[in-house]
Structure 1
Amino acid sequence: MYRHIHALQQMSRRMLSSSVRRQVENKVPHKQKLFQEDNGIPVHLKGGARDAILYRATMVLTVLGAAYAVYELVCAAFPKKKV
Protein backbone atom coordinates (compact mmCIF):
# COMPACT_ATOMS: atom_id res chain seq x y z
CA MET A 1 0.00 0.00 0.00
CA TYR A 2 2.77 2.42 0.96
CA ARG A 3 4.59 1.59 -2.27
CA HIS A 4 1.59 2.72 -4.36
CA ILE A 5 1.30 6.00 -2.48
CA HIS A 6 5.01 6.64 -2.90
CA ALA A 7 4.77 5.93 -6.66
CA LEU A 8 1.80 8.29 -6.93
CA GLN A 9 3.75 11.04 -5.16
CA GLN A 10 6.70 10.62 -7.51
CA MET A 11 4.44 10.72 -10.55
CA SER A 12 2.71 13.88 -9.34
CA ARG A 13 6.09 15.56 -8.77
CA ARG A 14 7.19 14.67 -12.28
CA MET A 15 3.96 15.97 -13.81
CA LEU A 16 4.22 19.30 -11.97
CA SER A 17 7.87 19.76 -12.70
CA SER A 18 8.82 22.93 -14.55
CA SER A 19 11.84 21.43 -16.26
CA VAL A 20 11.68 20.92 -20.00
CA ARG A 21 12.42 17.40 -21.17
CA ARG A 22 12.91 18.19 -24.84
CA GLN A 23 13.46 21.41 -26.69
CA VAL A 24 10.58 22.49 -28.94
CA GLU A 25 11.30 24.46 -32.08
CA ASN A 26 9.84 27.96 -32.12
CA LYS A 27 7.59 28.12 -35.19
CA VAL A 28 6.23 31.63 -34.60
CA PRO A 29 8.74 33.54 -36.79
CA HIS A 30 8.10 31.17 -39.71
CA LYS A 31 4.31 31.49 -39.31
CA GLN A 32 4.57 35.29 -39.08
CA LYS A 33 6.58 35.40 -42.30
CA LEU A 34 4.07 33.08 -44.02
CA PHE A 35 0.98 35.02 -42.98
CA GLN A 36 2.41 38.51 -43.58
CA GLU A 37 3.71 38.05 -47.12
CA ASP A 38 1.60 39.67 -49.82
CA ASN A 39 0.86 36.89 -52.30
CA GLY A 40 -2.83 37.51 -53.00
CA ILE A 41 -4.07 34.54 -50.96
CA PRO A 42 -6.69 35.31 -48.30
CA VAL A 43 -5.39 34.94 -44.76
CA HIS A 44 -7.85 32.14 -43.95
CA LEU A 45 -6.33 30.01 -46.73
CA LYS A 46 -2.62 30.73 -46.22
CA GLY A 47 -2.20 27.67 -43.99
CA GLY A 48 -2.25 25.34 -46.99
CA ALA A 49 -4.40 22.36 -47.95
CA ARG A 50 -5.72 21.77 -44.44
CA ASP A 51 -7.12 25.31 -44.28
CA ALA A 52 -8.71 24.92 -47.71
CA ILE A 53 -10.39 21.65 -46.69
CA LEU A 54 -11.67 23.14 -43.43
CA TYR A 55 -12.97 26.20 -45.27
CA ARG A 56 -14.82 24.13 -47.85
CA ALA A 57 -16.26 21.78 -45.22
CA THR A 58 -17.48 24.78 -43.22
CA MET A 59 -19.12 26.30 -46.28
CA VAL A 60 -20.84 23.01 -47.20
CA LEU A 61 -22.14 22.54 -43.65
CA THR A 62 -23.36 26.14 -43.58
CA VAL A 63 -25.26 25.81 -46.86
CA LEU A 64 -26.75 22.45 -45.88
CA GLY A 65 -27.76 23.79 -42.46
CA ALA A 66 -29.41 26.85 -43.97
CA ALA A 67 -31.27 24.70 -46.52
CA TYR A 68 -32.47 22.36 -43.77
CA ALA A 69 -33.64 25.31 -41.65
CA VAL A 70 -35.64 26.70 -44.60
CA TYR A 71 -37.12 23.23 -45.26
CA GLU A 72 -38.23 22.90 -41.62
CA LEU A 73 -39.74 26.40 -41.68
CA VAL A 74 -41.71 25.55 -44.82
CA CYS A 75 -42.91 22.28 -43.24
CA ALA A 76 -43.99 24.17 -40.12
CA ALA A 77 -45.75 26.87 -42.14
CA PHE A 78 -47.72 24.40 -44.24
CA PRO A 79 -48.65 21.51 -41.95
CA LYS A 80 -50.04 18.29 -43.41
CA LYS A 81 -53.80 18.02 -43.40
CA LYS A 82 -55.33 15.27 -41.32
CA VAL A 83 -57.54 12.91 -43.28
Structure 2
Amino acid sequence: MSRHIFALQQVARRTIFSSARRQVDNKVPQKQKLFQEDNGMPVHLKGGSADALLYRTTMALTVVGEKIFLTVTSSASFPTEFL
Protein backbone atom coordinates (compact mmCIF):
# COMPACT_ATOMS: atom_id res chain seq x y z
CA MET A 1 0.00 0.00 0.00
CA SER A 2 2.73 2.48 0.93
CA ARG A 3 4.57 1.62 -2.30
CA HIS A 4 1.54 2.76 -4.32
CA ILE A 5 1.28 6.01 -2.36
CA PHE A 6 5.00 6.67 -2.88
CA ALA A 7 4.61 6.08 -6.64
CA LEU A 8 1.62 8.41 -6.77
CA GLN A 9 3.62 11.10 -4.95
CA GLN A 10 6.44 10.79 -7.47
CA VAL A 11 4.07 11.10 -10.43
CA ALA A 12 2.37 14.12 -8.88
CA ARG A 13 5.71 15.75 -8.12
CA ARG A 14 6.92 15.21 -11.68
CA THR A 15 3.86 16.77 -13.28
CA ILE A 16 3.94 19.81 -11.01
CA PHE A 17 7.64 20.59 -11.23
CA SER A 18 8.29 19.65 -14.84
CA SER A 19 5.57 21.76 -16.42
CA ALA A 20 6.71 24.60 -18.63
CA ARG A 21 6.12 28.09 -17.33
CA ARG A 22 4.08 30.42 -19.47
CA GLN A 23 5.11 34.01 -19.90
CA VAL A 24 2.37 36.32 -18.67
CA ASP A 25 2.37 39.95 -19.69
CA ASN A 26 2.19 42.30 -16.70
CA LYS A 27 -0.87 44.48 -17.31
CA VAL A 28 -0.89 46.23 -13.93
CA PRO A 29 0.83 49.48 -15.07
CA GLN A 30 -1.65 49.91 -17.96
CA LYS A 31 -4.63 49.23 -15.66
CA GLN A 32 -3.29 51.68 -13.07
CA LYS A 33 -2.94 54.36 -15.74
CA LEU A 34 -6.48 53.70 -16.99
CA PHE A 35 -8.13 53.77 -13.57
CA GLN A 36 -6.17 56.77 -12.23
CA GLU A 37 -6.90 58.91 -15.26
CA ASP A 38 -9.16 61.87 -14.46
CA ASN A 39 -11.76 61.75 -17.22
CA GLY A 40 -14.93 62.37 -15.22
CA MET A 41 -16.10 58.75 -15.29
CA PRO A 42 -16.83 56.88 -12.06
CA VAL A 43 -14.24 54.24 -11.30
CA HIS A 44 -16.75 51.40 -11.46
CA LEU A 45 -17.42 52.17 -15.14
CA LYS A 46 -13.86 52.78 -16.34
CA GLY A 47 -13.37 49.12 -17.30
CA GLY A 48 -15.52 49.44 -20.41
CA SER A 49 -18.75 47.89 -21.61
CA ALA A 50 -18.37 44.76 -19.45
CA ASP A 51 -18.30 46.94 -16.33
CA ALA A 52 -21.34 48.89 -17.51
CA LEU A 53 -23.25 45.66 -18.13
CA LEU A 54 -22.28 44.29 -14.74
CA TYR A 55 -23.32 47.56 -13.06
CA ARG A 56 -26.73 47.62 -14.77
CA THR A 57 -27.35 43.95 -14.00
CA THR A 58 -26.48 44.52 -10.35
CA MET A 59 -28.79 47.52 -10.13
CA ALA A 60 -31.67 45.61 -11.79
CA LEU A 61 -31.25 42.67 -9.42
CA THR A 62 -31.15 45.06 -6.47
CA VAL A 63 -34.42 46.72 -7.51
CA VAL A 64 -36.11 43.35 -8.08
CA GLY A 65 -34.82 42.07 -4.74
CA GLU A 66 -36.11 45.13 -2.91
CA LYS A 67 -39.54 44.74 -4.51
CA ILE A 68 -39.71 41.08 -3.48
CA PHE A 69 -38.54 41.94 0.03
CA LEU A 70 -41.18 44.65 0.45
CA THR A 71 -43.91 42.39 -0.94
CA VAL A 72 -43.06 39.51 1.39
CA THR A 73 -42.61 41.80 4.40
CA SER A 74 -45.92 43.57 3.84
CA SER A 75 -47.80 40.29 3.36
CA ALA A 76 -46.24 38.93 6.56
CA SER A 77 -47.18 42.09 8.46
CA PHE A 78 -50.87 41.82 7.63
CA PRO A 79 -51.84 38.16 7.88
CA THR A 80 -55.21 37.00 6.60
CA GLU A 81 -57.96 35.84 8.92
CA PHE A 82 -57.67 32.48 10.58
CA LEU A 83 -60.12 29.79 9.55
Output the TM-score relative to the length of structure 2: 0.79
Per the alignment, residue 67 of structure 1 pairs with: 67
User: For 1:33 and 1:41, how far apart are their aligned partners in 2?
Assistant: 14
In structure 2, stretches of 5+ residues that fail to align are none
Structure 1 counterpart of 2:81, one-letter code: K
Alpha-carbon RMSD across the aligned residues, in angstroms, is 2.5
In structure 1, stretches of 5+ residues that fail to align are none
Per the alignment, residue 43 of structure 1 pairs with: 43
User: For 2:13 and 2:30, how far apart are their aligned partners in 1?
Assistant: 35
Aligned residues: 81
Output the TM-score relative to the length of structure 1: 0.79
Aligned identity (percent) is 53
